[in-house]
A and B are shown apart, each in its own frame.
Chain A
Amino acid sequence: MASGGWCSRVDSRWLTAYGPLVRAQVRSQAQYRASFVIDVAGSVLFGVLDVVAVFVLFRVSKTLAGFTFADVFLMTALANCAFAIADLLVGNVERLRVYVRSGLLDAVLVRPLGVLTQLAVMDVAARRVGRVVVAVGVLIVAAVNAGLALTAARLVLLVVAPAAGAVIFSAVFVGTASVAFWWIESGELGNALTYGGHDFTAYPMPIYGTVFRRLLAYGLGFAFVAYYPALALLDRRDPLGAPAGLGYASPLVAALVAAAAGLCWRRGVRHYRSTGS
């Protein structure tokens, strides 16, 4: 079934349609120039805010679960970067329940493109680009600030980790949005794992209670967004006892989580088509 979109092969038609779709979005948003500027400024500020929060916390405390400011700053920067990219790519799917309710999904289903890709670009917020740019900048600052002993492997990890993290967050966006196929009234349920996931990954895992940590860090793979990559980059041991270098496994975890989310999405689309909601 090609309609799933998520894992379906990328065909050239999609690529040629994607560019114009994104351009059209940017053009239509640029019409409201003042709003556009405010949107960009807002998204940048929200990005900066996560960093400010770390600063404030370390103002009143020297360490956090044994980690210094530089360590936590690096984790926050990695999480932020991954989230910003995911939000840019598929953040719009969280509006799925709105589309289901308004019937817009039907219009999407009669077009010759994948469902997920159409939804993702339906409101590609150009403003979200601003947040990605800031996040990348902050990551560079955090990496420098941490004084990383950069080997080739670590340099690769520094690039791969945000990408893998972005895949994990994208999967969470898609997976939680799929809930709307079954439960339209789910409201902001997805936020718990998307925005919540962002907050969760920004700090060292040992601060969380055991059950909560197991569920989110390992159940959903959130520990592999920032925590384990940061440990590998910083050459630190995991206080929780995981083997060193686990951070390099992030892409693998990302692939698993993405596959699971893809399955959810396909099941969701199938469910919608059999019930019509």
Chain B
Amino acid sequence: MTVIEARALRKEFVVRVKAGVLRRESRVIAAVDGIDLTVSRGDMLGYIGPNGAGKSTTLKMLTGVLYPSSGVVRVCGFEPVPQRQALARRIGVVFGHRSQLWWDLPLRDSFALLRHIYAVPAADHAARLSRCRKLLDLDPFLDTPVRQLSLGQRMRGELTAALLHGPEVLFLDEPTIGLDLVSKQAVRSFLAGIGDAGDTTLVLTTHDLADIERLCRRLVVIDRGRIVHDGSLDELHARYGSRRRVVVDLDAPLVTPLALPDVSVESIEADGRRITYALEGGRTTAGELVRRLAELASIRDISVLEPAIEDVVARLYADRDRHGAGA
């Protein structure tokens, strides 16, 4: 079942640029430049891209904060802006860098207020709250005013607040930004649990690629307002040539270099006693590489490095900068 559907979604902003002492020129900039997106129920979608790529703008159009310049968008069957209030009851939104909680109230009171705002039946509210309390370990600070919470505690509160009305879609804008490692892990495993349950759709924007690796089955990469990749993480690796690496420590440097198809030497360190091979394509496996290497030298240690999504994305963004410089 489709929960989010966007066709040729576009958002233009008019930017006034200084052109002389008093003259200003208006320039139209497309922050989102024709996006097609279909998200099914239960999807866990990571929406990534460099700063200013149009992530937040898209999210705002999906949640009813911004009206698209053109294109069609339906979320849970609603047209976001005209049917804002109806939609609001079906979605949850967490903004990483702004709070939706009541600053001076204890979390407990904020949650009680949200029950009234969303008109949630008391039993449903209590059940969802007690689940969140357990999973997010809210009890130690449930009676503390929000302003006194640490960022990690606050974010756990925000997540709860966004889920109390049982939303079908949960939008998360940078949910782990600024959190320490422990809090990040807590947030991630909580979200993973929601995703695994399968009935809530997750859409998350992030700069933290560990979020993506942990949470997202599907990855949409947006750049300059357009989708440049839509698929699984593996597909992204395949497409942007991410490599697995095999690092070997040898007792002595190799006398004759090893030549195998699809294997390249990425670096040689420690006077030739540490070599990093990159595997690209499928003609040589890591096992084969090691077996052939063992014939040539005595191996002290081996490690295999899985491709890091950071590398892929860094390469993607670097491409952008190179091309972007002329634009």
Contacts and interface: CB of A to CB of B under 8 A. Distances in A.
B103 interface: yes
Contact of B66 (A103, A114, A273): A273
B86 interface: yes
A239 B223 CA distance: 69
A13 interface: yes
Contacts of A270: 67
Given A16-B116, A111-B117, A112-B117, A106 B60 contact: yes
A144 interface: no
A113 to B, nearest CB: 6
A16 B121 CA distance: 13
Interface in A245-277: 270, 273-276
A21 interface: yes
B98 A110 contact: no
B89 A112 contact: yes
Contact of B13 (A17, A27, A273, A275): A275
A2 B84 contact: yes
A274 B28 CA distance: 13
B85 A2 contact: yes
A3 B105 CA distance: 27
B105 A28 contact: yes
Interface residues of B, number: 35
A149 B64 CA distance: 56
Nearest to A273: B67
A29 interface: yes
Given A112-B118, A276-B60, A31 B104 contact: yes
Interface string B95-114: 10011101111000100110
Given A2-B85, A109-B84, A276-B65, A24 B13 contact: no
Contacts of A24: 102, 105, 109, 113
A3 to B, nearest CB: 5
A52 B303 CA distance: 84
Interface string A93-132: 0000000001110110111111000000000000000000
Interface in A124-167: none
A17 B99 CA distance: 20
B3 interface: no
A20 interface: yes
A27 B85 contact: no
Contact of B100 (A21, A29, A107): A107
A27 B65 contact: no
A110 B109 contact: no
A13 B65 contact: no
A276 B85 contact: no
Contact of A104 (B67, B98, B119): B98
Contacts of A102: 98
Contacts of A29: 104
Interface string A1-19: 1110000000001001101
Contacts of B91: 110
Interface string B24-68: 000000000000000000000000000000000100100111110
Nearest to B103: A28
Interface in B107-143: 109, 112-113, 116-119
B84 A17 contact: no
B81 interface: yes
B102 A109 contact: no
B93 interface: yes
A3 B84 contact: yes
Contact of B64 (A13, A21, A110): A110
Given A31-B145, A109-B65, A21 B116 contact: yes
Nearest to B114: A111
Nearest to B68: A274
B98 A107 contact: yes
B82 interface: yes
A24 B117 CA distance: 12
A20 B104 CA distance: 15
B66 A17 contact: no
A112 B95 contact: no
B293 interface: no
A1 B81 CA distance: 8
A127 B85 CA distance: 31
B289 interface: no
B81 A3 contact: yes
B117 A110 contact: no
Given A109-B65, A113-B117, 17 more contacts: A1-B82, A2-B85, A3-B81, A3-B85, A17-B113, A17-B117, A17-B119, A19-B116, A20-B116, A21-B113, A24-B102, A103-B95, A107-B95, A110-B91, A112-B85, A112-B89, A276-B57
5 contacts: A1-B82, A17-B116, A17-B119, A110-B91, A274-B66
The 3 A-B residue pairs whose C-beta atoms are closest, nearest first, are A28-B104, A112-B88, A273-B67
